[in-house]
Amino acid sequence: MNIYDFTVKKQDGTEQSLADYKGKLLLVVNTATGCGFTPQYKELEEYYEEFKDQDFEILDFPCNQFAGQAPGTDDEIHQFCTLKYNTQFPQFSKIDVNGETADPLYQWLTANTKFGGFSGPMGVAMSAMLKKIDPDYKNNGSIKWNFTKFLIDRDGEILARFEPTDKMKKVREEIKAAL
């Protein structure tokens, strides 16, 4: 099984097979419009602009599971992202990434990766908060917060997982190396 086996819901409610992205390098990210990590949209759009002509795509999946930081409809979220960050990469319908209602794509992503740990000062705060919610959070692959990213190779296999506190420069370097 790989990413091409999944179908996701587009913003307009229609289904899209991820096999449509076969042969491309993908960065899959769960996002939110009201999160401390929301400014990462700026760098994501920069990377998209820089690498899109080399068969690179970013697949954006808004998620409201973390402190309700992605309120609003799919249209409202899309308007926010395009107006504030000029995002042009594909944005899909809002989904759940954890639990019984998790989208099958995210069930696969989290079953096949491990939590990489948080870094930096924000990581200390994130770890303290998550330890209260899930004392075993370090030992499971669940998504810990908004802006967790997965780099998928041209064959549909997972290359890397980036936690929200990972430096965006590191994400760019991995994208560039994979291209």
Q: Is 105 left (phi over 0), alpha (psi -120 to 50) or beta?
A: alpha
- Mean pLDDT of the residues in the chain: 96
- Give the model confidence (pLDDT) of 122-136 as tens digits: 999 999 999 998 889
35 part of the active site: yes
At 148 the pLDDT is 98
Of the residues 18, 25, 35, 109, only one is catalytic, namely 35
Is the whole-model pTM more than 0.85?
A: yes
- Give the model confidence (pLDDT) of 59-114 as tens digits: 999 999 999 999 999 999 999 999 999 999 999 999 999 999 999 999 999 999 99
Q: Which domains does the chain have, with CATH numbers?
A: 24-31+38-178 (3.40.30.10)
Q: At what angle do helices 168-178 and 40-51 cross, to 10 degrees?
A: 20
Distance from C-alpha of 82 to C-alpha of 78, rounded to nearest angstrom: 6
- Give the model confidence (pLDDT) of 22-34 as tens digits: 999 999 999 999 9
